[in-house]
Chains A and B, each alone.
Chain A
């Protein structure tokens, strides 16, 4: 029952045998001989595509492919920079962060549906064996209960890390997050207690064929709530540092982990304990003509698009990862847009009232940045529809759309 492999298969729930990595591998080689009727039914890449090619995670500059690249990150503390690294994918990095948190702080707890077996995506593998069933345990299927319970434990000074199995399942727990977790400090007032020890992890985003209840990106719903910190990491190194920061943070944090990256994104991750700054964006690539703001998985598509745009159009594009989506780092974005005069926001969630709307509005509200704008702020995001089973890849921002919009804001 507690065999670490017991739920291994669930982690591959997204493809019959072999999860997203295999999916990507299959997609990156030319599609094997399928009959024409089946060729593009789900999320395979179009044949002869020039831009919408599968992301090659083994070469993308967004991942640290060497220990040198990983340890060169200036945000790491000196002792970690002088330490070692290990090749990890995103779920292993999450596991590493949880393991460090459990080891360094007795008040850290990890629980959720099936987490004692390692969880659907293997993020909590072996933690129950190592740290004991009283600190890492399964809960019943009760999302509202899980978060209410976690908030109570946090109010007592514990540091619970609660897992919601898929971000799509969080809605019954929404009340607990909005009305309890976020408002706790404000309500408690003079007693000085809060639910600040709370961290909620949930896998989000498209994966190829998740359909209505396994592909949503609900981050914008949480960004509306003062009191919460909403975080989405782009890579294993980032996930480890941001998760540790969230666990140590004294505000309730919601971490959305792009599930397609769990296995696909592999990089060198420092083995030491380190936290990356919350509410701080990161300029991934400097440029002078257009600013592309994104977070999570679409950053890889942005990177491919801007590389091509720079080659074709002879321009220089700046790429910013928001990392914390709320409260977000306006200054870094404003500074960039004041330099480039053009901005494009890219996210996977649907466009209506999304993070792109907030970023675009903030840019035009800031007088100095507004006066520097050479073109309207553009958004590339998911369609304002429910995620259908079919054609999921078309529902998400793709390289061609991002490329096209870089071009558009330049030509405005």
Chain B
């Protein structure tokens, strides 16, 4: 309601300043009236012009009148101007003649529109690199060389092959597929993209694993790569499993030529293996793992808008304000901020929302609309008067099921007052008509037989509400996905099944009663646990948006791990920025600082937490509506490589301290070695600590700049300088830093004697043992989460095998927990650099504010309820509930009996099924309602 989607539109220019911009938008014609189109598909069916389908990455055809895919939003057809025969030649127009609702409008013209807004967020995305210029890979010439995005479509059930992997030349199942990494990334010779695209290693592994799942173990999948960059959460394990369990082959080599095998559609690869031997191997198919780049048009637009770009043409941002562009009031998120995966894009997007909301906090709710509240009609005790609406879903249902027959049948069922059908029950006019019918006929229960309640139930329930009917007096039954789609070839049986489904729904809804949603206030105070960079950024953003915030830190000062860090990957001084941040937090009147303080008890639930803080034996209790956990992480304490036995063997943080102190001894070193992955990517800690490659390279550059003659070596397993951090790797090599790869099985050995340190390592290119004589060894130690079981229990949040908090959803809910009202950010989620920590802190706040802004929340009506007269107080429900909703009543007549807190209950039914006394009922799914459906079905058999 408060989002206006403007499709087929581009922004032309932005004038004004932060808080008040004018944006010029050019809207291209759709040639179809969005208000009229019912997405029946007749225009596409009749359109005679076939063209390449861009949604299927060019692997199939579509019409000039089309919808991108069945789930498109808005679900409105569009006429492709460049390919429409009528728009190009003035003839045809068959779609216009055939459209049943007269929605085709060839007279639409481009429209210019100026929109006034307080802030702009740029999330224009990326374009996949086009590998046509890579002649030696044969992409443009050979049909069996495809891009990774094309391969995604081949894997997809909605793709051109329905998910059956076949190669384009002959539609045969491939037996051997090769992936080439870094196509259009980390390459300054054949393209200009020096950066790493961050996502390709992981998606190539995913594609290989899924391809093997589809085709079986006979399929041979080989990934040709330079460095395997699986630096994301749980990625390393996936890589390990792909190699060890799925049998995906990983070959460290950049293939230099591909030649078609004469007389077949196969391809021969020539490549040099690590030990220097030239090999050839024949594959059926090649997938090019193409990188991300900023489209040229976007580069030009950025220049026009005054948005400065980085070397790789991404929006320039600073580490401590990771979503702010160079133009105040304009923010950035997604791949335009730098190549990134979905979770990071989602984090940045929420962060950009928070940044815009900070700017506009004092004009919040001034442009939004509120839903009109229709008073509810009391139908309790009235005889059921059921309305049944059968949806044709265009031809989706009506093409198989005999809808008029089902309507006639429904009209004969008990309590049915009205039965009717609609071309599309979800269309606006059908909704308006439903409201009228409810009022006119005095209907008090509604059944809709249509598609899936997963997508459409809320829409229909809104319609009930609009008609003054309690939204739970409703039942939806799925005669599309579970009937017409699966019984396409048996229309008669499908019609009978539709009747059965409708009868079951009618019998259930007749027993349905209006349900109440409990209204709960949301306390407008926030609590942040952890005073490191993430915690401070979260507290500051909450305060900027007007919320009183308690910042709890168990140590005696703010700053966390950042106090020990020297410089960001972009070359900013961390101590300077950190000091500014601490000062700002301390001076903020809305932030209440609790140092030397820990949580000793947490009560309550979303919107209404009551937390007891304990500081030096003194306890205080605070009420708050939301909590952000930013409890951080610590460096791994190692005893490997002689750490702790010799002061010349140090950790990255020790070296940072020397650099901060400008320690003169650093300039006089003759040689220095960095050892990577100390404690990371090992069986007992199977994750990558994400930041150590960049950190060591940064420090290696510092040493080289202090003393160019110093011999600096980095001993690594894979260099993981993702995104534009790759440029640092390049710079280090140019400065003469020597990179030597080692394997987990053959780790370096450090020996200390009085004059020097000797590091023995096996060189992977020369295949010879090397002996490096140096004065300093720096260990890049792993990042270990500050696991706090007490805190996990307080807020009912879980940690993974490595001790990091588990977020709600790895991709779509990266900054919140499954427990409502509790959010997470920073190192407690996963190792990450400062910019990503700050972005996630803002993201956590953005998510928290969506809850705080509601002021009150409604619990669902479909919750469990205990009948205390029947409860045996056995406690099974209390122990089994994953949300801690049931508890024992503490006082009164039913003391000791179970009761369910409706605010916590998710209506899963676990307690209902496990109650041995039959004392628990799930409202809306009560036993008699389930049984009546079963009885009705028995009749059908």
**A and B from one assembly?**
no
Interface residues of B (CB under 8 A from A): none
